[in-house]
Amino acid sequence: MFSFTPTPAAAAALFAVALTASYSAQADIVLSSTRVVYAQPAKNVTVNLTNKGVNPLLAQVWLDDGREDANPQALKLPFVVTPPVSRLDPGKGQTVRITYLGQPVAQDRETLYWFNVLEVPPKPSADEKQSLLQLAFRTRIKLFFRPEGLKGSAAAAAESLKWSLENSGGKAKATIRNDSPYYVVLHSGEFVQNGKTYPLELSQIAPFSSLSATVKGSPAPGKGVVKFNTINDFGGLNQYESQL
């Protein structure tokens, strides 16, 4: 058992642990979602944490802007996350609230941040110290800040992606253009031509930008069909097709 009072110094000490923390599926704290969408004009959004383990745990939460090793105390982001540190007993949960503070951010597109949870187990007893290796687990998921009034929708953004295929020196590359103000997270895809399938190596595409993706195999220049899956706001998959 332990007690804890979250102070700036304590939060900084916990973050020092985070720099050597493990990213692992063995973490006992489970999040209520795999991503967070903060759509204005919402005053705030929440994420629920649940301790699925058998021991009490400390959880530190914070946002970063892509610099995953930056000290949370040094990051100047337009959000406040409360409570920043909490204790979770076995089987119990904690609701974390993320509130936008109103500072200027891009209003013509989504902005990507990251929501972090650092899980720290209690200190072992004197008898356990000799044989116990303790690990702190860190979970990091995407937070999309979606300003009010953006044209179109996230689903329409995926449908309107522009695909092209080039083959140079025997190596094929697909170029995907996103002309929307939304992030499009591509999960998987394939190029189908003359009955043959060529897997694509895909990732996310930022608003108003392009992605160059490797096409495994050597499809010939010409027409074909791209079949691809995107991850939607709820963490599920949506399927699409595009003619080349």
For residues 127 and 164, membership in a common domain is answered with: no
For residues 164 and 111, membership in a common domain is answered with: no
pTM score > 0.75 for this model? Answer: yes
Is 90 exceeded by the pLDDT of residue 175?
Answer: yes
User: pLDDT tier at 121 (50, 70, 90 boundaries)?
Assistant: confident
DSSP category for residue 235: S
Last residue of a domain, one of 112, 127, 146: 146
Is residue 36 a part of any domain in this protein?
yes
For residues 134 and 38, membership in a common domain is answered with: yes
For residues 32 and 142, membership in a common domain is answered with: yes
Residues 109 and 45: their CA atoms lie apart, in Å, by: 19
Is residue 112 a part of any domain in this protein?
yes
CA angle (49 as vertex; 43, 53 as ends), nearest 5 = 175
pLDDT tens-digit map of 193-232: 989 999 999 999 999 999 999 899 877 777 899 999 999 9
Q: What is the largest CA-CA distance in the chain?
A: 69
Q: Which residues pair with 96 in a beta bridge?
A: 47
Residues 31 and 133: their CA atoms lie apart, in Å, by: 25
Is residue 199 a part of any domain in this protein?
yes
Q: Which among 101, 105, 136 has a CA at the least distance from the CA of 122?
A: 136
For residues 136 and 46, membership in a common domain is answered with: yes
Count of domains forming the chain: 2
For residues 131 and 188, membership in a common domain is answered with: no
CATH of the domain at 47: 2.60.40.10
For residues 140 and 221, membership in a common domain is answered with: no
DSSP category for residue 72: G
Mean pLDDT over 181-190 rounds to 98
Is residue 98 a part of any domain in this protein?
yes
Q: Which among 33, 67, 37 has a CA at the least distance from the CA of 145?
A: 37
Q: What residue type is 233 in one-letter code?
A: D
- Domain, as residue range, for 31: 27-146
Residues 235 and 47: their CA atoms lie apart, in Å, by: 14
More confident residue, 86 or 123: 86
Residue 94: φ, ψ to 5°: -145, 130
3-state SS class at 132:
coil
Residues 18 and 65: their CA atoms lie apart, in Å, by: 16
Is residue 13 a part of any domain in this protein?
no
